[in-house]
Chain A
Amino acid sequence: QQPVQSPQAVILREGEDAVINCSSSKALYSVHWYRQKHGEAPVFLMILLKGGEQKGHEKISASFNEKKQQSSLYLTASQLSYSGTYFCGTEGPGADGLTFGKGTHLIIQP
């Protein structure tokens, strides 16, 4: 089942913070976060694994609540380059490919 992302869209001023949430109804092994700019490839940001391991960008933080099957991506002191659509992709233990949410559109204004 497709994970649910919230909010659908957010507009920020440069320097403000944002939180993007991802929620799944199935048991998860990992949550992957990507950012995509229009017409470009999704860019890997972070992966959070069951058990607490994280791999990804130093400047991006995220959390994974295994009990609730929820993940949140924290963008602090946003920069213009953070604009784009953020996708969470969820993965069960069976390694059967990522199931992506519909995305959260983030617009950063100067």
Chain B
Amino acid sequence: DSGVTQTPKHLITATGQRVTLRCSPRSGDLSVYWYQQSLDQGLQFLIQYYNGEERAKGNILERFSAQQFPDLHSELNLSSLELGDSALYFCASSASPGPGTEAFFGQGTRLTVV
């Protein structure tokens, strides 16, 4: 158990809908990362927050947004969902924003868009 908690574990929703994925980092970690893993794209970095502020942006679509709250938990919002958004979404946390800092992954949320 990495100490990073993600909810829900599974999510099935229809195209066009909006969902929110939640992540609680390890105790003491200030930095949160979001990754998407799919069969064709592999494991891709989406976005990073550190102590409530956006730190780095990767391949995140405009339909997706995230935020980190004062209690350090983070939410990833996915809207206007398409079939291609079906994937495993991982959250990871680290003590500092890096670089060169170990990041620990949560168990992921499996999103299925039908």
Interface residues of A (CB under 8 A from B): 2, 29-30, 32, 34, 40-44, 47, 49-50, 53, 55-56, 87, 89, 91-103
Contact = CB atoms under 8 A, between A and B. Distances in A.
A41 B106 contact: yes
Contacts, number: 70
Interface of B: 2, 33, 42-45, 47-48, 55-58, 90, 97-108
A87 B99 contact: no
Main SS at interface, chain A: loop
Contacts of A41: 2, 90, 105-108
Given A87-B43, A99-B45, A94 B99 contact: yes
A44 B107 contact: no
Of B48, B58, B99, chain A has the most CB atoms within 10 Å of the CB of B99
Rank and list the top 7 A-B pairs by shortest CB-CB distance, nearest first. Answer: A97-B45, A95-B99, A41-B105, A100-B43, A95-B98, A96-B56, A30-B100
